[in-house]
Amino acid sequence: MLKPRASISALAPYRSPIMSRAGLSLDLNESMAGCSPRVLARLRDLSAADVSLYPQRELGERLVAKFLGIASEQLLLTNGLDEALLLLFASYLGPADELLFADPTFTMYPMLGEALGAKVVRVQSGHDLALPVADLLARISPRTRVIAIANPNNPTGLAAARADLLKIAQAAPDAAVLIDEAYFEFYGETLITDLPSHPNLFVARTFSKAYGLAGLRLGVLTGAAEQIGYLRRFSEPFNVNSVALACLEVALADQAFVRAHVAQVQQGREQLAQLFDDLGLRFWPSQTNFVLVRVGAAAKIFVESMRRRGILVRDLSASPGCEGCVRITLATPSQMEEVLQTIREAIAQDQRS
């Protein structure tokens, strides 16, 4: 009888991250501001050749490399940052190798490590949920082949200091050290400038968040030219679709859209911080487009009463260190009033039940 590799059949059954689209989706860290109108105009302008011919990823890579101030050889465009993770992990992690990361973090890291049959080494953050730098350093072994760090992190929204991240990269010269900067635009600090001095460092970005292009699936992996060259050998030549590539130039050109969206997200973070302070709820100061808050033992009930009121938020109470926590994506200023009011009502209901 046909059987997949043991590491695949041992994975948890697939569940779509999309619970529902009935309501305001504040559960997936998408952009509630949509995307640049210039991207929509470009989409309306697509020609038959834009879809009938195979895509030319290299043209897009030149654009993004120029935008980031690096050489095209240091960059690979991918089908979302998720694909960059797959390419990177599969290129360096074999069955006897170790993948190292700190909990809580992005759930794709353990899933991919397990799928590849690697040994998944997890370090738990303390109560502050900050990156446990000393513990990570202590767990680096000769077998460590990939270290994955989201900075700022999902689901905490917290960022680690650049010096600490570089310390980790320097301590593991034989491991690929990935800094996943999916939320870079909301934070503003990057390690891309450290690539020349750290040959084992990789920095990944996405157009899914601040650019509002999650549906187009556009990710970016940067690293030393030599290492990116190896990953390119293994990547599909047509992994990024022509429609996404056609939109790239206008998306990058419209930085005013990105800046305006980031400013609105910052304003929303302040409103949520004020509300959680008023309600006496513990939350983590976020550098992203979402906020993690501890609503208490009744997190499930809270999420359900938000859903009944038309707002979807993510229950994270099962994530290590996030007991009683939910993650809420920031909405647009016009939606925020309703979001704040709905949170108040759901918390009041929690306290009554």
Ligand X SMILES: Cc1ncc(COP(=O)(O)O)c(C=O)c1O
Q: Which residues bind to ligand X, rule: CB under 6 A?
A: 29, 80-82, 106, 150, 154, 180, 182, 206, 208, 214, 219
Smallest separation, CB 154 to ligand X (Å): 4
Q: In DSSP terms, which residues pair with 291 in a beta bridge?
A: 328
Largest CA distance in the chain: 60
Nearest position to ligand X, beta carbon: 80
Smallest separation, CB 336 to ligand X (Å): 21
DSSP 8-state assignment for residue 210: T
DSSP 8-state assignment for residue 193: G
Q: Express the helix, strand and coil content of the chain in percent, nearest 5 each.
A: 45, 15, 40
Smallest separation, CB 220 to ligand X (Å): 9
Question: Which C-beta is closer to ligand X: that of 63 or that of 214?
Answer: 214
User: Which residues in 276-285 are b (16+ Cβ under 10 Å) and which e?
Assistant: beeeebebbe
Smallest separation, CB 53 to ligand X (Å): 24
Question: Which C-beta is closer to ligand X: that of 39 or that of 150?
Answer: 150
Smallest separation, CB 30 to ligand X (Å): 8
The beta strand positions in 196-275, using DSSP E, are: 201-206, 219-223
Smallest separation, CB 82 to ligand X (Å): 4
290, containing H or E segment? strand 290-294
Judge whether 209 and 183 are in contact, CB under 8 Å. yes
Question: Which C-beta is closer to ligand X: that of 218 or that of 298?
Answer: 218
Judge whether 327 and 316 are in contact, CB under 8 Å. yes
